[in-house]
A and B are shown apart, each in its own frame.
Chain A
Amino acid sequence: MTVMKTSMRNFFAHKGRMALSAIAVLLSVGFVCGTLVFTDTMNTTFDKLFAATSSDVTVSAKGASDTGETTSDNGKPPVMPASVVGRVKSAQGVKAAEGTVFSTSVTVVDAKKDNLSPSSGAPTIVGSWNGNDARTMKITSGAAPKGSDQVMVDADTADKHHLKLGDTLAMISAVGTHDAKISGIASFQVTNPGAAIFYLDTRTAQQTLVGKTGVFTNVNVTAASGVSDARLKQNVVSALGGHYKVQTAKETADANQKSVESFMNVMKYAMLGFAGIAFVVGIFLIINTFSMLVAQRTREIGLMRAIGSSRKQVNRSVLAEALLLGVTGSVLGIGAGVGLAVGLMKLMGQMGMHLSTADLTVAWTTPVVGLVLGVVVTVLAAYLPARRAGKVSPMAALRDAGAPADAKAGVVRAVLGTLLTAGGGFCLYLAASADKATGGSLWLGLGVVLSLIGFVVIGPLLAGGVVRVLGAVLLRAFGPVGRMAERNALRNPRRTGATGAALMIGLALVACLSVVGSSMVASATDQLDKTVGTDFIIQSDGGQMITPQAVRAVKATPGLKRVTEYKTTEADYTTPDGRTLKNTDITAADPTYATDLRVKTVAGNLKDAYLPDSMSVHENFAKAHDVHLGSKIRIAFKDGATANLTVRAITSNDGLIDAGAKYTSIATLAKYVPADKMPLDQLVFATAKDGQQDAAYKSLKSALHDYPQYKVRDQTDYKKALKDQIGQLLNMIYGLLALAIIVAILGVVNTLALSVVERTREIGLMRAIGLSRRQMRRMIRMESVVIALFGALLGLGLGMGWGATAQKLLALQGLKVLEVPWSTLITVFVGSAVVGLVAALIPAFRAGRMNVLNAIATE
């Protein structure tokens, strides 16, 4: 009990010294809990949405997806004849059945041709206004659509785009473009996470979305009272036979939930990964804090030992303090996590995804996970310092007080660190020289982990050399103050090493990713220059297909030499080795594509792949399935007939663009797939007549003005888009890594603040013999800068090594060019110096303010 009491007293006596460690725990736990609460809340929102919007039983066409999204390549939803409704009604236990039509392959634009689709990635849905929707939507102004010139829009979309009754909208589908005026605005009765929804009357919906009347995409079936959904489903299935997809409300909701969940899980685990990095960085901070507290308390611990405390008791008292710290930090972190989740929801709201705080879901597991993680990590981190405290000899109580003796880095550390680093380096070397990406990535992973641990272990030894060099370059100019700052940074290499290592981890990842990212941009640019022989690429950013009317508009543009259409679809392959590959991609393009993209071949000529009943495969595929020039592959096209295609070219793997594609001609595809099932174009390439590029670019842009969902890009635009895309991704990752870096900065502040306390007497002495406040502050700032730069140098070096290795490894997959983003790296380095200055602000201020007399007073 005394142990606990001492721990409690120590903990509260050193509140300030513990504060930064607590914040580190708080941040990490907060991030974990925030992620969990946020994803749980998203799930709840979608659960409610799906539960509310699905009818008891839904009947849809055989080819429809479980979730109801339109995935057909031809841009039209799969439909069934209207007679199905009658047959459903005749089934037992059916109270009502209503046929509906809807499609998610539609783009809706306003009168100014601005795209009304959500930018968040949520779908745009155009459908018939039906009883099921009437249950979940409330018409807030105007009336439901009636007749072909009316459309009703959801209130969120109307607000966002300032739409009013009477405004004209155009719906662009694979069938054509349909204009209608807004007749009404309806708002959701449950939280809508962001889909834009437009309603037409049934007949108009059929014509606009499918191109003919008398068909439905869904039949919503309502059960008579006392009939369960499962029972109803059975009845409906027996009434219809097996030709249709029949799902209960629960099945529909589950299918939807599953598709949302898989996306959510990616996000969840990515965020938890970054929280994990922050935890690792936090460990360094906690180790440093406890090491310093134990060192400062050596005399006290010696006294405890002298009067009879056992090693175990001393050890336990330190761990008990860690436990208190862990609990405090975690509890605060759980609260912060809920706050973070609410903040994220607000942020999502800004981006067009509406989430309601009423749905805020804190599962019981969330606080438990947060608390356990926070406490376990804290206690584990404090274990080493606690053990060291246990080893303090009773003699320590008798020794002279003063600054704790400088810790010397040991030989074991040197040997272990060198071995680990060398091992890591060797793994990286193996990864760089691997000729297979799969084996290489394993080496890369191992190399990254080993070299990181190696650097952490050897850090205190490197601190000596690196700090001296930094000191010689940066600090000597500041005379004795600089010299003292350098010596202070050197006096406890373990501390400097651990503080720097914390910063190193985050910055190593930043450096590695920036190297890989800029290499990706450089490699892709290089490839584009070498292989693309066309001027303009037309595609949508949301992945929508290009409607025939838009393709016609492109083809009608003056100044173009040629236009190449590019479609992808799926087929079941039966290869010469006798195996069947289900749902495998096949790319159909005009023969001119061979000119538009100069793909290297290892055998045959790519132009020949566009001959009738011909195709090409890529090198890996050929190897894996025993395919040679002249081999025949049986291709069963989705929605079409089966063909026997002859392989007339084998493309090289050597390329980033369209890597692994298997080509055939559109003409061949058209032979086997009926016209109304033909997939729409995914991409369209346009090449201008010589010398008319600029004019053609302008004409193309204006030709596609009515179709804002499609972008025309020349090569410059395309490269820029690519660069922006990678840049955005990197920025997002940097944003998440910022958490780890902030924790590392707290670590620098912490180390300095505790050092200042530890050096109270030294500071007093220096002030007494004439060091001014300003010089004192400068000294501490410089020490901080040197520590930060030490971490930055190690991190950037390590990260560049990782990045370069990753590039060498990925060179196998087309990442041919290594580009080191010097400007980014230098910015990070200089930024670290600034971080050092900022971290020193408070410790320096406190050192400057320290009372000289207190500092020199004898005990």
Chain B
Amino acid sequence: MTSAVTIPRHGGTGGRTAVAARARQVVKAYGAGETRVVALDHVDVDIARGQFTAIMGPSGSGKSTLMHCLAGLDTVTSGQIYLDDTEITGLKDKKLTQLRRDRIGFIFQAFNLLPTLNAIENITLPMDIAGRKPDRQWLARVVDTVGLADRLKHRPTQLSGGQQQRVAVARALAARPEIIFGDEPTGNLDSRAGAEVLGFLRQSVDELGQTIVIVTHDPVAASYADRVLYLADGRIVDEMYKPTAEAVLDRMLCFSGGHPQTPDFDARGRTS
């Protein structure tokens, strides 16, 4: 699908749309009748290719649900979601699984790695499952970038939390997905390790042209993004380009009634 060998296929727009993922009038509701809860209320959103997007919002705002729907992990009640030109709403489990395997990368908050596999096996797992051979050069570059070259044969239990998340980042990057979704990827890390991981994500956007979407409630994490989307009550209520931690925090205070959920808020800002 790529036009040039030297340019990674997700680099730039490369002859493809500038929008990596789109949501159109997406509604996600649970239950029916009086107990009906609307998690997403007619959301329209475009995720720009080659950009780092952060989705923020208070608990229950629907930010995780939006990400799950965009990533093909969850189904929507109505509306459409496109990944590049492919409409993923309505796809059967088999197709969705393939799509996740081949075109999407994931970083979860915790429990990202299979305890039975060592670091490098975890990194190449999506490609192994697909029966694809990893691109050796690219793999070496990814591993090098996240600084894991000497930890590849270690099992997850032998790695620190920060190292484990770096392996998860490497796994997400290694398969060269069109888009990487992160669900609070630094939620379980201390600020230093978190900063490291976020730094890698930033770097992969800047240097490798990767498209990344993360869900976070940490203004510092959000400050690494190119663009921040604010969700409240299942709607996108605001957005911000080129955010700083302070600006994000200010904006959040407006939406959450003066009680930002920033347990490990760290005002030191970027360290990279």
Complex contact B115–A406 (CB within 8 A): yes
Q: Which residues of A contact B171 (CB under 8 A)?
A: 769
Q: Name which residue of chain A comes closest to B97, CB basis.
A: A772
Chain-B contact segment, one of A355-363, A480-488, A791-799: A480-488
Given A487-B117, A762-B114, check contact A772 B108 (CB 8 Å).
Answer: no
Chain-A contact segment, one of B80-88, B99-107, B232-240, B254-262: B99-107
Q: Which residues of A contact B73 (CB under 8 A)?
A: 768, 852-853, 856
Assess whether B150 is interfacial by the CB under 8 Å rule. no
Q: Which residues of B contact A858 (CB under 8 A)?
A: 109-110, 184, 187
Instruction: Specify which of B93, B129, B130 lies most central, judged by the most chain A CB atoms within 10 Å of its CB.
Output: B129
Interface string of A478-505 (1 = CB under 8 A from B): 0111011001101100000000000000
Interface of A is mostly: helix
Complex contact A479–B128 (CB within 8 A): yes
Assess whether B131 is interfacial by the CB under 8 Å rule. yes
Complex contact A402–B97 (CB within 8 A): no
A481-B116 Cα distance, complex, nearest whole Å: 12
Within 8 A of A (CB), among B202-229: none
Assess whether B126 is interfacial by the CB under 8 Å rule. yes
A762-B106 Cα distance, complex, nearest whole Å: 14
- Option from B113, B130, B183, B184 in Cβ contact (under 8 Å) with A770: B130
A808-B109 Cα distance, complex, nearest whole Å: 64
Q: Which residues of A contact B116 (CB under 8 A)?
A: 484, 487-488, 490-491
Given A405-B157, A406-B115, check contact A769 B94 (CB 8 Å).
Answer: no
Assess whether A773 is interfacial by the CB under 8 Å rule. yes
Complex contact A769–B117 (CB within 8 A): no
Complex contact A480–B128 (CB within 8 A): yes
Complex contact A480–B114 (CB within 8 A): no
Assess whether B241 is interfacial by the CB under 8 Å rule. no
A402-B111 Cα distance, complex, nearest whole Å: 7
Assess whether A775 is interfacial by the CB under 8 Å rule. yes
Given A772-B97, A773-B93, A773-B97, check contact A766 B114 (CB 8 Å).
Answer: yes
Separation in Å of the A128 CB from the closest CB of chain B?
81
Complex contact B100–A768 (CB within 8 A): yes
Q: Which residues of A contact B25 (CB under 8 A)?
A: none
Instruction: Specify which of A481, A766, A769, A852 lies most central, judged by the most chain B CB atoms within 10 Å of its CB.
Output: A769
Q: Which residues of B contact A233 (CB under 8 A)?
A: none
A771-B106 Cα distance, complex, nearest whole Å: 13
Q: Name which residue of chain B comes closest to A776, CB basis.
A: B97
Complex contact A765–B111 (CB within 8 A): yes
Interface string of A452-482 (1 = CB under 8 A from B): 0000000000000000000000000001110
Q: Which residues of B contact A769 (CB under 8 A)?
A: 100-101, 105-106, 125-126, 129, 171
Q: Which residues of A contact B113 (CB under 8 A)?
A: 765
Given A403-B115, A406-B115, check contact A770 B100 (CB 8 Å).
Answer: yes
Separation in Å of the A296 CB from the closest CB of chain B?
15
Complex contact B106–A768 (CB within 8 A): yes
Given A487-B117, A771-B97, A853-B68, check contact A761 B128 (CB 8 Å).
Answer: no
Given A769-B171, A853-B74, check contact A761 B111 (CB 8 Å).
Answer: yes
Interface string of B55-94 (1 = CB under 8 A from A): 0000000000000100001100000000000000000011
Complex contact A484–B97 (CB within 8 A): no
Separation in Å of the A39 CB from the closest CB of chain B?
51
A481-B126 Cα distance, complex, nearest whole Å: 11
Complex contact B68–A770 (CB within 8 A): no
Complex contact B129–A770 (CB within 8 A): yes
Within 8 A of A (CB), among B140-195: 157, 171, 183-184, 187
Q: Could you list 19 examples of A-B contacts with CB < 8 Å? A: A405-B157, A480-B125, A480-B128, A484-B116, A487-B116, A488-B116, A765-B111, A765-B113, A765-B114, A766-B129, A769-B125, A769-B126, A770-B129, A771-B97, A772-B97, A775-B129, A856-B73, A856-B108, A858-B187
List chain A positions with a Cβ less than 8 A from chain B. Answer: 400, 402-403, 405-406, 479-481, 483-484, 487-488, 490-491, 761-762, 765-773, 775, 852-853, 856, 858
